[in-house]
């Protein structure tokens, strides 16, 4: 799997993907936009709305097993309040997948009624699956189609053929023809995608990155942070990220010769443990910060 930052994005790729998706729109009835439930804002492609135009759509918050359930509920309410159908699920256990077909039917209820009136009862409903790399598109399609297919690389320039998958009950899924890019112009987005491991962190300063993550956790999830690293709330609530990182390194006995704390190792540990949800189910993009979210 190519990771987002290692992809050489350039306007040519973006235009090609846009064109390919546009040319497929006439073949489909709805678009399912996969977002990562830990970063629903940051994992949304900024140009999607103009690409999919007026097609009926629904949001699928994937990887819920790793996201804060309270935040996931808030995101679902936020989308609902903005008239956007949304469901939460995870492709690891398959929890929530059953809601997909009924939600698509609901989104398309007027059309389904119109088809019925025209006598088109056996019509297959076709849904395009879109999302930035690593959000879980392949996992979702595999789960829904209950077949293991070879993973197709998400690499610009490598054409993903038109891939249709039958999921039964009169539904077909179309894998995205092309790759959707994340928001480039918001540095916060790059950082948040790096926290969850969707952006390669070897091109970023890991100590700085984990320091920033620790500050976010200090402000939003201090309890799970303290539990995981055996820290005291009162000891860290006024500390900078780097100082928390040093405390963690010390607690974990990560020292280099001379007794200095190996903050680089501590940083890698914090990032790994966050990504594997060892700190618990945590959300980075909080629903209350994005009241105007649009997809």
Give contact residues for ligand G4P (rule: CB under 6 A): 1, 62-63, 65-66, 90-92, 131, 133-139, 154
78: Cα separation from own chain's centroid = 17
Instruction: Compute the distance between CA of residue 88 and CA of residue 94 in angstroms, rounded to an integer.
Output: 11
CB of 282 to ligand G4P, least distance (A): 13
CA angle 155–64–25, rounded 5-degree value: 45
CB of 239 to ligand G4P, least distance (A): 30
C-beta separation of 66 from 278 below 8 A: no
Question: Which 3 state secondary structure label does DSSP give 149?
Answer: coil
CB of 119 to ligand G4P, least distance (A): 38
Instruction: Compute the distance between CA of residue 224 and CA of residue 243 in angstroms, rounded to an integer.
Output: 18
Name which of 12 and 94 has its Cβ closer to ligand G4P.
94
Q: How many CB atoms lie within 10 A of CB 28?
A: 20
Count, residues in the chain? 295
Name which of 88 and 247 has its Cβ closer to ligand G4P.
88
Name which of 103 and 138 has its Cβ closer to ligand G4P.
138
CB of 139 to ligand G4P, least distance (A): 3
CB of 175 to ligand G4P, least distance (A): 8
C-beta separation of 270 from 214 below 8 A: yes
Name which of 65 and 264 has its Cβ closer to ligand G4P.
65
Instruction: Compute the distance between CA of residue 209 and CA of residue 187 in angstroms, rounded to an integer.
Output: 12
Name which of 24 and 139 has its Cβ closer to ligand G4P.
139
């Amino acid at each position: 799997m190519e990771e987002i930052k290692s992809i050489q994005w350039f306007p040519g790729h973006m235009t090609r993907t846009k064109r390919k998706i546009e040319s497929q729109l006439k073949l489909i009835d709805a678009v399912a936009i996969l977002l990562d439930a830990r970063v629903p804002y940051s994992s949304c492609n900024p140009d999607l709305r103009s690409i999919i135009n007026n097609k009926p759509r629904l949001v699928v918050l994937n990887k819920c097993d790793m996201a804060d359930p309270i935040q996931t509920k808030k995101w679902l309410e936020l989308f609902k309040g903005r008239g956007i159908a949304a469901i939460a699920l995870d492709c690891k256990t398959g929890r929530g997948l059953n809601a997909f077909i009924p939600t698509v039917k609901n989104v398309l209820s007027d059309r389904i009624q119109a088809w019925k009136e025209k006598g088109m009862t056996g019509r297959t409903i076709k849904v395009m699956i879109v999302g930035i790399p690593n959000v879980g598109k392949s996992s979702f399609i595999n789960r829904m189609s209950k077949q293991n297919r070879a993973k197709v690389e998400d690499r610009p320039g490598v054409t993903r053929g038109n891939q249709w998958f039958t999921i039964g009950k009169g539904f077909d899924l179309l894998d995205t023809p092309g790759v959707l890019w994340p928001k480039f112009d918001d540095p916060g987005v790059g950082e948040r995608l790096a926290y969850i491991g969707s952006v390669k962190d070897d091109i970023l300063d890991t100590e700085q990155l984990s320091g920033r993550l620790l500050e976010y956790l200090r402000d939003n999830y201090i309890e799970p942070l303290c539990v995981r690293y055996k820290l005291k709330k009162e000891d860290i609530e006024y500390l900078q990220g780097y100082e928390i990182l040093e405390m963690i390194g010390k607690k974990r006995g990560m020292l280099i010769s001379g007794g200095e704390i190996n903050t680089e190792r501590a940083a890698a540990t914090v990032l790994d443990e966050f990504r594997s949800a060892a700190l618990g189910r945590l959300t980075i993009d909080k629903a209350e910060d994005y009241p105007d979210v649009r997809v």
